[in-house]
Chains A and B, each alone.
Chain A
């Protein structure tokens, strides 16, 4: 059906579940640090606007965190169910790294999340700030572990192969593998940027509807400073990451560039647009700029970039997809840089809060960071193909031996369930965003939390949007 094999279905299923999952942790990482900054600024300046924003965003953070936990449950099992031969082959390295990720997440939840979400009036200011900082740090430590595992699959080292299986030899070498620092920086920064645009779009939505208050203005302003300063930094990190990939996975770069062959003595051009055709081994309809490929990737005017035809066909990733997913990521990145520069221009006479074209742009760019994250992950993961552990195990050899029918059945099940349930979750988050931060929000006391009688100290319950469906039934109680 549709020319897909069981292997393709297994890959689509993993891609679907992990793509859905990554959206929540990305926002969690970004919001946790944002909340830490907000609380720090409030403690330093004493301005209530920061506290109002803290209270507002902590509710959305809570729902988002809960969604991340539920969607992550599936991920912990999918390596074994869908990629059993990979798990057996590489589990001695990837298993412990995943375990550390899980332990970090639980440590976080057990220790500091409760204090952060429910402890506002029950612990001192300093301790509360400490808890927020620890949660922010914890999300980054979780990122650290999961990216160590992923990066090792791209650039494996520190291991030996005994009896056809991976044995860790040097954990430091395993964790700090060559692509890890770049991938970690790139992803963490991407999470910050995605969150900034999410926050910015929320502010723009309110301003466009005439809901103007200091908190809304502050969050737009903070988001746009992030966009202005951090997106160019991200471009530089991305460039370093690209050079690292060129060194360790040259064929991925060749596929991203849709670059099939080098002519002797000529520098490599940069193909702006085109349609790589894997069968015909050409990039059709291409628009190219001479020499620029060499300049960007080798930082020289004459060195050549490896080409797809330098590698046997069975070792090439699908250029048709990653040529475009890469351009989606870069294109959105450039748009973000532009939005940041525009915001700086508009700041001169506070037009940033009034310019409707600008606010509409920021509104529509709300999901841009998340889309760029997905596009980037598609590029790097499809670019890793046909390997699951680069150079060591092919994806086709790592997959479980499941039938087409059962993979198709579970894929449909996941698609239906994820859209229904996480769709409801996202809808709920949007409902919270619509309520907007309002002045004085930070002074309200919410029920719940440790120490209060029988009220839950869990992430999702921190999000009280004021709708209490059971309040009517409670008042009827005789």
Chain B
């Protein structure tokens, strides 16, 4: 038994998506929070807090897509075609947001509000449909003869729509706590005030998902609630509650960094919870990473380049966050 290439590739792709969710999550969140902030200069500050990094954040999404294509072509083809409409809408949202990001700063003042709207709309659409895609993914796909056998609107379920709304809340909280880290004064004050209701709504979302999935999907219930699994996985919900408590406390005492870090922990825990429910399937409910895997010649060939490049991308990412550390203020010449 040599190296388990499908396992390695699953880990790489899970890591890539995790990086994407965490990093693009807070900059999408900023777009979601835009309507709550009316002041133009505050909006400039909000964008400036993510301007240097947002497109780097999206590289993980492209890498995840290409990696999935090469390593698990079956999953790539089934999942992507099953989620055709939500993914197309998500990509359109991301394009809108990306272009709005750049041209908002370059536009003439009178056209600026248009780019603001494109930025808000793009962020909302991208996040919502990302959540819908996630929810539909958890629900699983009908696969017959190696291709998707469901209808074009099968993803349109109450659970998927709820996931879409849930992800908006999660990204809004990420954006909110990120702004607490990066800003000061009235804007930070406003974000501190917003942190508490957002965290409580997110708690409700997590609660609903945690009840809904095991009730609706017996295999997920079995995964969590049989012994000894229950003992292994019990720390996840407990840690969620502890983290949320800490988050509410830290927002209340006007902490600068703790809320964001705890939100990251929360997102990570939620992500792990979903992973526990699904693993080792890559096309729920029944096709595993080994079933969907490309031949070892393909996975091995890709691995060489990937293992060389990913550390470089990570290094560059950390370095750019380091360069742009600290608070962003109105006085910053910032972004051009």
Residues of chain A touching chain B, judged by Cβ–Cβ distance below 8 Å, are 66, 69-74, 76-77, 79-88, 90-103, 106-107, 109-111, 162, 167-169, 171, 400-403, 405-406, 409-410, 413-414, 417, 421-422, 424-425, 428, 447-448, 450-451, 453-461, 464-465, 467-470, 473-474, 477
**Complex formed: what's the CA distance from A414 to B88 in Å?**
9
Is A79 a contact of B336 with CB atoms below 8 Å? no
The minimal Cβ–Cβ distance linking B282 to chain A, given in whole angstroms, is 13
Is B77 a contact of A456 with CB atoms below 8 Å? no
Is B78 a contact of A84 with CB atoms below 8 Å? yes
Sorted nearest first, the 10 A-B pairs with minimum C-beta distance are: A91-B73, A80-B80, A95-B70, A84-B77, A84-B81, A95-B69, A456-B52, A87-B77, A400-B81, A110-B316
The minimal Cβ–Cβ distance linking A280 to chain B, given in whole angstroms, is 37
**Complex formed: what's the CA distance from A43 to B331 in Å?**
38
Is B302 a contact of A96 with CB atoms below 8 Å? yes
Is A87 a contact of B107 with CB atoms below 8 Å? no
Cβ-based interface call for B249 (8 A): no
Is A70 a contact of B99 with CB atoms below 8 Å? yes
**Complex formed: what's the CA distance from A148 to B65 in Å?**
19
Q: Report the interface size for chain B: residues with CB under 8 A from the other chain.
A: 77
Is A457 a contact of B40 with CB atoms below 8 Å? no
The minimal Cβ–Cβ distance linking A447 to chain B, given in whole angstroms, is 6
**Complex formed: what's the CA distance from A102 to B64 in Å?**
10
* Docked complex: B178-228 residues within 8 A CB-CB of A: none
Known contacts A73-B95, A168-B297: does B102 contact A470 (CB below 8 Å)? no
**Complex formed: what's the CA distance from A128 to B206 in Å?**
50
**Complex formed: what's the CA distance from A458 to B101 in Å?**
12
Residues of B within 8 A of A467 (CB): 106, 108
Given A80-B68, A464-B336, 5 extra CB contacts under 8 A: A80-B69, A92-B73, A101-B66, A409-B85, A428-B103
Cβ-based interface call for B147 (8 A): yes
Is A98 a contact of B66 with CB atoms below 8 Å? yes
The minimal Cβ–Cβ distance linking A209 to chain B, given in whole angstroms, is 23
Q: Mark B237-248, 1 if CB is under 8 A from A, else 0.
A: 000000000000
Is B91 a contact of A77 with CB atoms below 8 Å? yes
Known contacts A81-B84, A421-B99: does B298 contact A95 (CB below 8 Å)? yes
- The DSSP consensus for interface residues of chain B is helix
Cβ-based interface call for B139 (8 A): no
Is B146 a contact of A88 with CB atoms below 8 Å? yes
Known contacts A417-B96, A448-B336, A477-B330: does B306 contact A99 (CB below 8 Å)? yes
Residues of chain B touching chain A, judged by Cβ–Cβ distance below 8 Å, are 40-41, 44, 48, 51-52, 55-56, 58-59, 61-63, 65-71, 73-74, 76-81, 83-85, 87-89, 91-92, 94-96, 98-99, 102-103, 105-109, 112, 146-148, 152, 294-295, 297-298, 301-302, 305-306, 309, 312-313, 316, 320, 323-324, 326, 328, 330-336
The minimal Cβ–Cβ distance linking B12 to chain A, given in whole angstroms, is 11
Is B323 a contact of A450 with CB atoms below 8 Å? yes
Residues of B within 8 A of A70 (CB): 95, 98-99
The minimal Cβ–Cβ distance linking B55 to chain A, given in whole angstroms, is 6
Known contacts A84-B147, A91-B294, A402-B84: does B313 contact A469 (CB below 8 Å)? no
Residues of A within 8 A of B107 (CB): 469
The minimal Cβ–Cβ distance linking B72 to chain A, given in whole angstroms, is 8
Is A107 a contact of B106 with CB atoms below 8 Å? no
Known contacts A93-B298, A95-B76, A425-B99: does B313 contact A102 (CB below 8 Å)? no
**Complex formed: what's the CA distance from A459 to B52 in Å?**
10
The minimal Cβ–Cβ distance linking A178 to chain B, given in whole angstroms, is 21
The minimal Cβ–Cβ distance linking A131 to chain B, given in whole angstroms, is 14
**Which A residue's beta carbon lies closest to that of B108?**
A469
**Complex formed: what's the CA distance from A99 to B9 in Å?**
13
The minimal Cβ–Cβ distance linking A176 to chain B, given in whole angstroms, is 15
**Complex formed: what's the CA distance from A98 to B68 in Å?**
11
Is A74 a contact of B91 with CB atoms below 8 Å? yes
The minimal Cβ–Cβ distance linking A124 to chain B, given in whole angstroms, is 20
From the candidates B41, B69, B333, name the one contacting A455 in the complex (CB within 8 A): B333
Is A410 a contact of B85 with CB atoms below 8 Å? yes
- Of the listed residues A82, A98, A422, the one surrounded by the most CB atoms of chain B closer than 10 A to its CB is A98
**Complex formed: what's the CA distance from A80 to B70 in Å?**
11
**Which A residue's beta carbon lies closest to that of B146?**
A88
From the candidates A80, A169, A453, A469, name the one contacting B112 in the complex (CB within 8 A): A469
**Which A residue's beta carbon lies closest to that of B104?**
A469
Residues of A within 8 A of B85 (CB): 406, 409-410
Residues of B within 8 A of A413 (CB): 88-89, 92
Can you pick out 8 interface pairs between chain A and chain B where the beta carbons lie within 8 Å of each other? A76-B62, A77-B87, A81-B83, A424-B103, A455-B336, A469-B108, A469-B109, A473-B41
The minimal Cβ–Cβ distance linking A103 to chain B, given in whole angstroms, is 5
The minimal Cβ–Cβ distance linking B146 to chain A, given in whole angstroms, is 6
Known contacts A96-B298, A464-B336: does B80 contact A102 (CB below 8 Å)? no
Is B44 a contact of A84 with CB atoms below 8 Å? no
Known contacts A402-B84, A424-B99, A473-B41: does B298 contact A92 (CB below 8 Å)? yes
From the candidates B44, B108, B298, B309, name the one contacting A168 in the complex (CB within 8 A): B298
Is A402 a contact of B152 with CB atoms below 8 Å? yes
Residues of A within 8 A of B92 (CB): 413-414, 417
Is A474 a contact of B333 with CB atoms below 8 Å? yes
